[in-house]
Structure 1
């Protein structure tokens, strides 16, 4: 049933991989993949009598020798079966498979263990025409059943070794490409879903306009609902981009609504919020999944209040495991979850198979640095080969980047407002103030005294901590937010953000947090970052034509140069803003383009070009059935942060670990940059215990980690 569901959901697969008989080959792969479990040793292991110390997949693949195909289909089916749990490198290392004499002897011995159940296996094989007729749609008869153990052929010897030799000699076949990826990926998906008690893929929303039943759609929403194929969507914060993107996904669905939809956002906080929102909007919580580095922890927290630890953990694992499979039609994720597949990390075949012909919504595409932007662009180019479609969204994307994406991906459609329509969303009066934040504390205090909801944004954590300490005295209902709180305290702060009189933060407030303040005071930053900060003030002011003030200081702190290395961009941004008063929404794109008129510069340009040059070469060395450990390390090096626990929570953390309450232990974890980690290591302020790093630094639940220096803050906000 899972097989039929996948076949119906992905009808374009044979064409994409260039193998018309693909579904026949997958059927045989599924049919034989567990035959090796009939071995007497495996059956004893099931009853707990003894460990078998062999792999059933190796024996299962031997039945492929009865298929009446040419060598390539037989090799493909055998490879999929042999590797559907472990890759070939693991099998060779752990089970001494061919070409070693020990491996040959062991295979022969284990093969004999099929003898007691061999007649029953023959009986099952005779049902191939009947079962294939039911689930494939026509009867298969390209098989001659094995009459004895002696007719079985060692598929590892006859298939895996030639496959690896072809790799070494650069004699690649279709099995080294999409054909192998789809066969391994869909076999794994069928096996995992059936094992999890799910016998079909869920399909998407039947009518998205019924979910968002607007009396009148905005122009961009209406255009998106009629747009077929790839497109850009450029629209202001708060103008209904999310609904527009979902209308686009609906317009590009197939008749059965089986295309998978990936909604990609840059930050964990915004992903969590979107997940919660779509679960509410779609009514059925099974339709939507969440994927990011701390997804299990987030899911655990959603069950924590209703259940005890073990039940909450079990429920979180069930939800996460199903999301990781080809099951839910909508997934909210970070681009890193997609990039992972490009690095050949275990399970990438299933992930790539799932992403074929999928619909990708790339939200907040402006938020990434040059290196990550290049990785995303190269990844989308690869997904294009799998017939994926893209809607790329932003409020503040420089035109040079937009044109580059359009050119490289062949995008010709842009959904946007006209200049006059954009100006309907105008909400801010911008002023550039002389001096820095410490020179203007009186002005901030005056706004607080006037009972305004005040937002202050600094560029470094240390600066934000100082300003918060100064301003919060005597202020009720205030908060500080940045990236150096332990998870427990960060969650507590985020839960109160909407109702604070004063919020001081870093770039953390740029990340789609649902907050709305009356006035902003910001340290200097590149224009696109400032626009995101402005968006946290007077979010819906355009509805009643209300204008509210946003202030930017001319000077930042001494350490800003470590955060924004291209200070020319910052200076140019301030120069342009100083000439504005009421910031018309239509002006924003023009100003952003003027700031970035030369495109990427210096280190940003070098980083972007390096990825563009090297990533295609790197990805061309990724092959199905093989997982390279080095690639995994390469991928995780993309994360420029290190998890630590403040030393004052060491006993609490270790106690939770000892009691196997791992998610409770995670509440004490904070993140620091790689540079800060190296500095603490140099100063002997770190110790490792139970695989966790404990930092001997002061920590305050109100202020977060109090680190001595900011030179290496970049990456942790």
Structure 2
């Protein structure tokens, strides 16, 4: 008798199970020594779970579903009840023959019983009905097919045990369950995808970095020597921009499997490209919401394989965003897979201060969970809020015996002398224009509306110097064009003005002569300073950074008002003076001390989020719901009506196309025409949605202003309904 597991490949249950066992051996042989909690007994439990996880698929209702799909003859049965196979599989495990402790039995029951997470809870009577009237009639045939002993007598106590799920209150057994179930997920998903659970095991990123540095004639600096010397520990590093932090992190990773996270997709893409193309390390994957588009556009020939390997978390080094791999503090159904993947790996969190307090709380909880399953982490940042460091210490996540902390700051090179202006930035336009006659001037403001206001003001003056505008509310393709343009402008040393928002704080590598900026919180402000005299030393008395502290846009919606006011107080002693790197680090520490934050919305959000994660009821949401909570659901994707009219042919071509690669390219072309805008601002102009699968994109009846030939325009004009801009 043949029992099928998959319709697409006509794979039998035994064949599929053998794939799991191959992946189990691969995982154990490759990284077995890295799993702190996986002793020989745990590996044996995982083997048993793999052997029995799909036995329940032998029920006739399931087999007939597959037979219908592959056009084979239906089997006769009096049973028409449909129960998830994972529940049935548990009932067929011969517990009496396995010599398990009570706790081991519970681990096995839950790992197999929930290797698929269902909305439908196990129903004892339905399970009894199918096992007794259908499955046990075929017991010998199933046993022979699987080459496994099966339960001789049925007991249904396992259903009661399944209904009492593991929680954090189960102590060490909870973490053992997370590993057992999570690793079963990993080998099962890899087997279903016909992929190895781990690839490029022998490829060392540490060795690639050392070879790259040697070829370039670079010597390891103190930071890089420190991280390389502490590969066996959790590491927290504060280091200024330009110190080779990426190389330092990769040297810490060494020969291990690792995940490298950054807040911005464009930064992740840039580092991925650098590792792959400049360092020559090809065991690197990319995973974020638009990574497939990026890989296809970049011309990666094997982008489909890269996509699959990245999604299965099988690549040796994965560049990714936190919403892809670190959302397990939400305890969504199936969270164990991502968390178990951390147990034999290292994770780098770059620029933790760039996340809002709720996300920072989630990251701290995630690091605590990673610590509990035996993984290692590195926090790497230019400025580390004291509040976050204190919380890590309080939770014993960075205790002295298994952690290393280092600060690497070069105080010998001065790059910024600041001047504070107790007025609105619009009052500084005359000075901006004067300096732009002979220099490159970067203007950074806190909101798109303020950026457009300044740009319009300068256009009306009919200046004889170039003035450009860059913010988030251009279409994706126009924004990419402008991002390239600002870099070229900077490299070619053209005098003029660029007006931007905080978009340029971390994602764009530029080095302007002067910075004029609205005040923000210090951590954000110091990121902005990194776009001025980024690679140069200031060896004269002039102020190259001008900060405007009155009528600041974006407060309190973008930046917390209390933190902005405290930031101004901390800056005032340095008005007219050099602001060195050590001072910047110390000021951020002071700003984010708990005593300074008492009574603020920032501290409240941070503590409320931590409390939520500490007290969350596991399995209350699914993976997509957790992802939505992480992403900025306040923003929506829109396409201005005029642009939509120009892509109707693309939408029709997409609907008619059946070639997977061509469809992806068409989809990319369509999504390039979209703009991400705040929902509360855009909703009143929204008219309709695009057809499936683009229903997340709204058509918006407002003007869009941009000329690609001249790089001029204001982007989407949310306060200007359809008119005659062009």
Q: Normalising by structure 2, what TM-score?
A: 0.79
**SS, match of residue 427 in structure 2:** helix
Partner in structure 1 of residue 672 of structure 2: 667
Partner in structure 1 of residue 701 of structure 2: 696
Partner in structure 1 of residue 193 of structure 2: 196
Distance 2:323 2:281 in 1: 26
1:222 aligns with 2:225: yes
Partner in structure 1 of residue 680 of structure 2: 678
Partner in structure 1 of residue 639 of structure 2: 645
- 5+ residue gaps, structure 1: 126-144, 251-256, 308-314, 710-717
Change (3 A) 1:238 1:281: same
Change (3 A) 1:429 1:2: same
Distance 1:559 1:627 in 2: 33
* Between 540-549 and 352-361, the greater mean CA deviation after superposition: 540-549
1:417 aligns with 2:408: yes
Change (3 A) 1:475 1:667: farther
Distance 1:171 1:644 in 2: 42
**SS, match of residue 447 in structure 1:** helix
1:292 aligns with 2:288: yes
**SS, match of residue 495 in structure 1:** helix
Q: CA deviation at 1:78?
A: 4.7
Partner in structure 2 of residue 151 of structure 1: 152
**SS, match of residue 233 in structure 2:** coil
1:612 aligns with 2:600: no
Partner in structure 1 of residue 246 of structure 2: 242
Distance 1:476 1:417 in 2: 40
Contact 1:428 1:547 in 2 (8 A): no
Distance 1:446 1:171 in 2: 62
Distance 2:195 2:170 in 1: 34
Q: CA deviation at 1:616?
A: 0.4
- 5+ residue gaps, structure 2: 1-21, 76-81, 657-662, 707-712, 721-726
Contact 1:62 1:152 in 2 (8 A): no
Superposition pairs for residues 374-393 of structure 1, below 5 Å?
374-393=361-380
**Aligned residues between the structures:** 644
Distance 2:634 2:221 in 1: 39
Partner in structure 1 of residue 434 of structure 2: 446
**SS, match of residue 233 in structure 1:** strand
Distance 2:514 2:584 in 1: 19
Partner in structure 2 of residue 535 of structure 1: 530
Partner in structure 1 of residue 9 of structure 2: none
Q: For 1:20-65, what per-residue CA distance to the aligned partner results, in whole angstroms no more than 9, with x for missing partners?
A: 5111121122233344556653652452348997755455545422
Q: CA deviation at 1:474?
A: 6.0
Q: For 1:526-571, what per-residue CA distance to the aligned partner results, in whole angstroms no more than 9, with x for missing partners?
A: 2222211110122221499999822222434455443223241243
Distance 1:45 1:316 in 2: 34
**SS, match of residue 186 in structure 2:** helix
**SS, match of residue 562 in structure 1:** coil
Q: For 1:465-507, what per-residue CA distance to the aligned partner results, in whole angstroms no more than 9, with x for missing partners?
A: 2223444666787643222222222222223331124432111
Change (3 A) 1:405 1:24: closer
Change (3 A) 1:588 1:11: same
Given the alignment, which residue of 56, 61, 71 partners 1:48?
71
Change (3 A) 1:430 1:319: same
Superposition pairs for residues 304-383 of structure 1, below 5 Å?
316-383=303-370
Distance 1:197 1:546 in 2: 64
Report which structure shows greater RCO (CA 8 Å, sep ≥6).
1
**SS, match of residue 327 in structure 2:** helix
Distance 2:165 2:185 in 1: 24
Contact 2:35 2:343 in 1 (8 A): no
Given the alignment, which residue of 482, 485, 488 partners 1:496?
485
Given the alignment, which residue of 49, 73, 96 partners 1:29?
49
Q: For 1:432-487, what per-residue CA distance to the aligned partner results, in whole angstroms no more than 9, with x for missing partners?
A: 2453332222322233321x232111111011122234446667876432222222
Q: CA deviation at 1:606?
A: 1.3
Q: For 1:570-618, what per-residue CA distance to the aligned partner results, in whole angstroms no more than 9, with x for missing partners?
A: 432552341x423332332234345456442411121122123232011
What's the RMSD between the two structures over aligned residues? 3.6
Contact 1:525 1:573 in 2 (8 A): no
Partner in structure 2 of residue 705 of structure 1: 716
Q: CA deviation at 1:113?
A: 8.3
Partner in structure 1 of residue 520 of structure 2: 525
Change (3 A) 1:482 1:635: same
Contact 1:58 1:82 in 2 (8 A): yes
